[in-house]
Amino acid sequence: MNASVRELMALFDLEQLENNLFRGQSEANGQRSVFGGLVAGQALLAASRTVEPDRPVHSLHAYFLRPGDFTKPIVYDVDRIRDGKSFTTRRVNAIQHGRPIFSLAASYQVQEEGVSHQAEMPEVPGPEGLENDEAARQRLVQRLPEQYREAFLQERPVEFRPVTPRDAIASEPQPPVREIWFRVVDKIEADTMVQRALLAYCSDFGLMGTAMLPHGMNFWQPHVQCASIDHAMWFHNDFRIDEWLLYRSESPFAGGSRGLNFGAIYRQDGTLVASVAQEGLMRLHPSDSPTG
């Protein structure tokens, strides 16, 4: 198995400390705090470990409360709110240094048949032949501040191939829409519970940046402060995280130093597997402008 994928799967091998209490490891990925997608994915997995496997998660709603310390593990405290005939509800607090850094509620349902419809997948080129993000990062790295370069080039367990390549460091305004293919770079053996936790992890990559596009903002500008505020997901159909998935995101609104983003994730055969929503902080220092 690819070394970076092995490390990723180790992060999703939670240690059970006690009934309803789990511990996950953190990782440094070039950010000043724990990657929000990692906390969301681990928290969802902790909740799922207390639910019968015939009830897959169908939705989660979460808030990022404090920056996480990537030098310390994270404890996940699961509250078994309800076990009903059809639905199960769990609440999870992610704790570091005695304080919650993240709070998640998740709902699970016995699988049922019912009426069905979905939004059509956009007509875009498939991932084959598109440039991967590693090649793009190699071209851009010298334009980044030196303190970000090593993390920017490190091997990653998830491969991304944008449908429309963009200069991630450019400050020119662009439409607030992104379409990108992604997958875990090596084959993994994981059940539905872990697959959905890994999708929660992947869903946080780049989503908040969609709202920044019309304003010429990016994550490396020193006058830009950004952070995820909340995150919601709805799981619709099964998938494999090591097979290509299309992530289309768009931002209908930004204001009040916040940007709102919606996403849809499709299998390569056009099946909609998940919907995502996130609001993030997009704060400019008062004396600066996006292009300053």
Catalytic residue numbers?
Answer: 204, 228, 278
Q: How far is CA 14 from the centre of its chain?
A: 18
Using the Cα atoms of residue 209, residue 210, residue 211 and residue 217 in order, give the sign of their dihedral. Answer: positive
User: What is the DSSP annotation of 111-129?
Assistant: --------PPPP----STT
Report the candidate in 96, 130, 290, 113 with the shortest Cα–Cα distance to residue 212.
Answer: 290
Contact predicate 26/34, CB 8 Å: yes
What are the structure tokens assigned to 76, written together?
């996940």
DSSP symbol at 206: S
Element (H, E) at 203: helix 192-203
Report d(CA 199, CA 241) in Å as an integer.
Answer: 7
Q: Which single residue is written with the structure tokens 């490190």?
A: 154
Report d(CA 267, CA 248) in Å as an integer.
Answer: 12
Report d(CA 267, CA 198) in Å as an integer.
Answer: 15
